Amino acid sequence: MTNWVENAWYVASWDAGIDTVPVAHTICNIPMVFYRTLDRSVVAMRDACPHRMLPLSKGIREGDSIRCSYHGLKIGPDGVAQEMPLKNERVNTRICAETFVTHERYRFVWVWIGDKEKADPALIPDLWPCEAEGWTFDGGRYHVACDYRLMIDNLMDLTHETYVHSGSIGQEEILEAPIECLVEDDTVYIRRWMPGVEAPPFWAAALKQRGTVDRWQICQFNLPASVMIDVGVAPLGSGATIDKHDQGVRGIVIDFMTPETEETHHYFWGMARNFETHDAGFTARFKQQQGQVFAEDKDVLEAQQKAINANPGMRLNAYSIDQGGVRARQAINRAIKAQSAVEGQAV
């Protein structure tokens, strides 16, 4: 049994990360090669030539096809052989490389893991702030050497900000504010309302004023492995509430965890924001600052994974602050068990 949900869309890359030159990514333990055809659509296929299994990412692009650089087998974008190694040999079209369904939206390239017949683009999460009027969006990617579920735990428990991110977004009031956990089907929410607190450095700069503010954090987990975090501050007395808070400055942190192996994952991060939306310089500086914050998480989680491996007799414990991560893991486990049951019936 896998540690991740199948029959689901996963982020394979930012749109700029895939071009005409083949690039290799392992996703859910599947080695894949990605490239763009002449019409700019994205091809994804198993990164192994069906002849002698040399990675096709080492191959040679010829038009929309790729030729293995070992013996010259030419594979089309549909994965079907087009030319055999011997020039006069009849093409055996039964020779195929496995292909995967892809889709582009919200500046991400998505790849479907599972039954291709079920790959419906409507199932891609609704990232409305990434293309809404009055908002702007950018971000980056980290390769993180830990189980992707540890990152979900991290993002669904923001009490760590007080210690891990003390120089930017952390503050003591995060530890004092009550936590509200809501579960709707397989969607998990963690909500924290912090009225009348001192604005931390990042939010004071975004609001362009220091002083007392109302602050909120709303973490939303969705299957198979995403967390969106509604964050921001509003001047005290502006009327902002935990349910309605377009006053002040607001951002939606976008987080997608794409499993690579059982102990590594691709972490795609960013923020859509409704302030300084036309300032390209601010966007670049903010992306760098946000990247530094997430690099702090990366260091902690990789050290945590090493400690887990070094202490096989111990297990993770859950306290009251961990309820968001616990609920998210329960949703993942239910989905994995459901798909295993379906596969068992099929067999």
Q: Are 51 and 91 in contact (CB under 8 A)?
A: no
In one-letter notation, the amino acid at residue 77 is: P
Q: What is the C-alpha radius of gyration for the chain, rounded to an integer number of angstroms?
A: 23
Same domain, 251 and 291: yes
How far is residue 146's CA from residue 266's CA, in Å, rounded to a whole number? 10
Q: Which domain holds residue 249?
A: 134-338
Q: Cis omega (within 30 of 0) on the bond before 195?
A: no
Name the pTM for this structure: 0.93
Q: Are 340 and 333 in contact (CB under 8 A)?
A: no
pLDDT at 166: 55
Q: What is the mean pLDDT of the chain?
A: 92
pLDDT digits (tens, 9 = 90+) for 306-340: 999 999 999 998 888 889 999 999 999 999 999 88
Determine, yes or no, domain membership for 125.
no
Same domain, 183 and 332: yes
pLDDT at 59: 97
Same domain, 285 and 166: yes
Residue 217 pLDDT greater than 70, yes or no? yes
Residue 148 pLDDT greater than 90, yes or no? yes
How far is residue 40's CA from residue 210's CA, in Å, rounded to a whole number? 47
pLDDT digits (tens, 9 = 90+) for 15-38: 999 999 999 999 999 999 999 999
Determine, yes or no, domain membership for 1.
no
Read off the CATH number of the domain in which 144 is found. 3.90.380.10
The mean pLDDT of 81-89, rounded to a whole number, is 92
pLDDT at 178: 84
pLDDT digits (tens, 9 = 90+) for 258-316: 999 999 999 999 999 999 999 999 999 989 988 888 898 999 999 999 999 999 999 99
Determine, yes or no, domain membership for 343.
no
pLDDT at 259: 98
Residue 73 pLDDT greater than 60, yes or no? yes
Same domain, 63 and 191: no
pLDDT at 77: 98
pLDDT at 318: 85
Contacts 24+ apart (CB under 8 A), 70-75: 73/49, 75/45, 75/49, 75/50
Same domain, 103 and 174: no
Picking from 85, 118, 151, the residue at the C-terminal end of a domain is 118
Environment class of residue 145 by beta-carbon count within 10 Å: exposed (0-12), middle (13-18) or buried (19+)?
middle
Which are the contacts of 29, defined by CB distance < 8 A and separation ≥ 6? Answer: 2, 259, 260, 261, 262
Q: Are 47 and 111 in contact (CB under 8 A)?
A: no
Which are the contacts of 12, defined by CB distance < 8 A and separation ≥ 6? Answer: 18, 25, 27, 32, 34, 44, 102, 108, 109, 110, 111, 258
Read off the CATH number of the domain in which 66 is found. 2.102.10.10
Spatial CA neighbour of 19 closest among 4, 1, 37, 45: 37
Same domain, 189 and 298: yes
The residue among 263 and 344 whose pLDDT is bigger is 263
Residue 13 pLDDT greater than 90, yes or no? yes
E strands present in the chain: 8-14, 23-27, 30-36, 42-46, 60-62, 65-67, 74-75, 81-83, 102-105, 108-113, 136-144, 180-184, 187-198, 212-222, 226-235, 249-261, 264-273
Quote the DSSP letter at residue 71. Answer: T
What percentage of the chain carries pLDDT values higher than 70?
94
Spatial CA neighbour of 152 closest among 311, 339, 1, 3: 3
Picking from 89, 118, 147, the residue at the C-terminal end of a domain is 118
Same domain, 315 and 204: yes
pLDDT band at 53 (very low <50, low <70, confident <90, very high): very high
pLDDT band at 200 (very low <50, low <70, confident <90, very high): confident
Count Cβ atoms below 10 Å from residue 279 Cβ, excluding itself: 12
How far is residue 3's CA from residue 151's CA, in Å, rounded to a whole number? 14
pLDDT at 265: 98
The mean pLDDT of 205-209, rounded to a whole number, is 86
- Report the number of distinct structural domains present in the chain: 2
